[in-house]
Structure 1
Amino acid sequence: MRIKIQKWGNSLALRIPKAFAFQSKIREDEYVNLTLEENKIVIEPVEGKIYSLKELVSEINKSNIHSEIDFGKQVGTEHW
């Protein structure tokens, strides 16, 4: 597919067609890796790290813990 490179501020930009974005799993507001391989620009989606509960909880400390928040009474089949 042939597309036009356009100026965006001091940089250059290109539009990624919807079908290409869908097939490559690139979504709006997500980061991509941009590399240059043998004079070709390669754009790849960044795989997000999946954290375990243990990893997330291990980062809680006195400086970032918040107090209990009252969300009100249970509604429907909620269990607190």
Structure 2
Amino acid sequence: MMKVSVNRWGNSKGIRLPKAVTEALEIEENDSLNIEIKDGAVILSKPKKEITIEEMFKDYKGGSFQAEIQEFEPEGNEKW
């Protein structure tokens, strides 16, 4: 377990994250973190990276594909 001190930062209070923590979470300067309070503990986590269209198709070589149109009947109060 690591300990850090809480210090004044303007009108707020802040902590510094040790290098081992930033490396383990792969945190860079200006990254955003999620903060959750659960059972008296503060949980910091890095948000999941959003994938761009370019990243999604970076290995796509331009091959063709076939798709069939499927029709469905409503089963409840769906609006089509």
Structure 2 length normalisation: TM-score? 0.61
Q: Please, which runs of 5 or more residues in structure 1 have no aligned partner? A: 54-80
Q: What SS does the corresponding residue of 2:21 show, helix, strand or coil? A: helix
Name the SS of the counterpart of 2:27 in structure 1: coil
Once the 2 structures are TM-superposed, how far is the Cα of residue 51 of structure 1 from its aligned partner?
A: 1.7
Structure with bigger gyration radius: 2
Matches for 1:49-68 after TM superposition, within 5 Å: 49-53=50-54
| SS class of match (2:16) | coil
Structure 2 CA distance for aligned equivalents of residues 10 and 35 of structure 1: 21
Runs (4+) of structure 1 moved beyond 4 Å? Answer: none
Q: How does 1:16-55 map to 2 (within 5 A)?
A: 16-53=17-54
CA separation in 1, counterparts of 2:28 and 2:48? 12
1:47 Cα deviation after fit: 1.7
Deviations 1:17-39 (Å, cap 9, x if unpaired)?
11111011121111000110111
Say what the alpha-carbon RMSD is for the aligned residues: 1.1
Which consecutive residues of structure 2, in runs of 5 or more, have no partner in the other structure? 55-80
